[in-house]
Chains A and B, each alone.
Chain A
Amino acid sequence: MGAFSLITDTERRVPRVVVVGLASCFGCQLQITNAEQYLMQILGQIDLQYWQLVTSEDMPDQYDVAIIEGAVTTRESEETCKAVRAKAAHVMAIGACATTAGVTGMAMPGLDGRIAEVYGDGLPDASGEFIAPRPVSAVIPVDSEVRCCPIDPLDFVAMLQRALFGSNRSLDTRTLCSDCKRNETECFYNSGTLCLGLVTRAGCGARCVNLGRPCNGCAGLSPDANLDAARAACDTYGVSRADFDKALEMFNQVNPVLAESGDE
Chain B
Amino acid sequence: MLYRVMDKRELPALVRAFMESYEVVAPVKRGSGYIFDVIGSPEEIELDYTQTASSPKKYLMPPTETLMKFDANMNLVEDFIEQVTPRVIFGVHTCDINALNRLDVALIGGKYVDPYYQARRDATIVVGISCVPNENCFCHLWGADEAQFGYDLFLHDIGDKYLVSMSNVEATNILEAACELSEATDEDRIAFRQATRVRQSAFNKDIPDVQDVAMLMDVFHSDPFWEELGKKCLSCSACASVCPTCFCFDIRDVLTPDGKTGERQRTWDACTNPGFAMVTGGHNFRPTGRERVRHRMYHKLNGFFVNHDRMLCVGCGRCVTACKTGINPIEVLRFFKRKGADHAK
List the interface of chain A (C-beta within 8 A of B).
1-2, 35, 38, 41-42, 44-45, 154, 157-158, 161, 164-165, 167, 169-182, 184-187, 189-191, 197-199, 202, 222-226, 228-230, 232-233, 236-237
Across the interface, do A2 and B73 meet the contact criterion of CB distance under 8 Å?
A: yes
List the interface of chain B (C-beta within 8 A of A).
30-33, 35, 53-54, 58, 63, 72-75, 231-238, 240-242, 250, 252-255, 257-259, 268, 270, 272-275, 278, 289, 321-322, 324-326
Q: Is the interface of B mostly helix, strand, loop or mixed?
A: loop
Q: Name the CB-closest residue of A to B262.
A: A161
How many A-B Cβ pairs are below 8 Å? 130
| Interchain CB contact (< 8 A) of A158 among B232, B254, B278 | B254
Q: Which residues of B contact A197 (CB under 8 A)?
A: 236
Q: Name the CB-closest residue of A to B268.
A: A182
* 22 interchain pairs, CB-CB under 8 A: A1-B75, A38-B258, A157-B257, A164-B259, A167-B252, A167-B253, A169-B252, A172-B273, A177-B324, A178-B241, A180-B238, A181-B238, A182-B54, A186-B30, A186-B31, A186-B32, A190-B32, A190-B321, A199-B234, A225-B234, A229-B325, A230-B324
Q: Name the CB-closest residue of A to B31.
A: A186
Q: What CA separation (Å) do A178 and B235 show in the bound complex? A: 9
Q: Name the CB-closest residue of A to B235.
A: A224
Q: What CA separation (Å) do A35 and B231 show in the bound complex? A: 41
Across the interface, do A158 and B255 meet the contact criterion of CB distance under 8 Å?
A: yes
Across the interface, do B253 and A233 meet the contact criterion of CB distance under 8 Å?
A: no
Q: Which residues of A contact B237 (CB under 8 A)?
A: 174, 177-178
| Interchain CB contact (< 8 A) of A165 among B252, B255, B268, B321 | B255
Q: Which residues of A contact B252 (CB under 8 A)?
A: 167, 169-170
Across the interface, do B238 and A178 meet the contact criterion of CB distance under 8 Å?
A: yes
Q: Which residues of B contact A190 (CB under 8 A)?
A: 32, 321
Across the interface, do A232 and B232 meet the contact criterion of CB distance under 8 Å?
A: yes
Across the interface, do B322 and A189 meet the contact criterion of CB distance under 8 Å?
A: no
Looking at the assembled complex, report how far the CB atom of A199 sits from the nearest CB atom of chain B, in whole angstroms. Answer: 7
Across the interface, do B232 and A229 meet the contact criterion of CB distance under 8 Å?
A: yes
Q: Which residues of B contact A223 (CB under 8 A)?
A: 274
Looking at the assembled complex, report how far the CB atom of B296 sits from the nearest CB atom of chain A, in whole angstroms. Answer: 13
A187-B278 CB under 8 A given contacts A169-B252, A198-B236, A222-B235: no
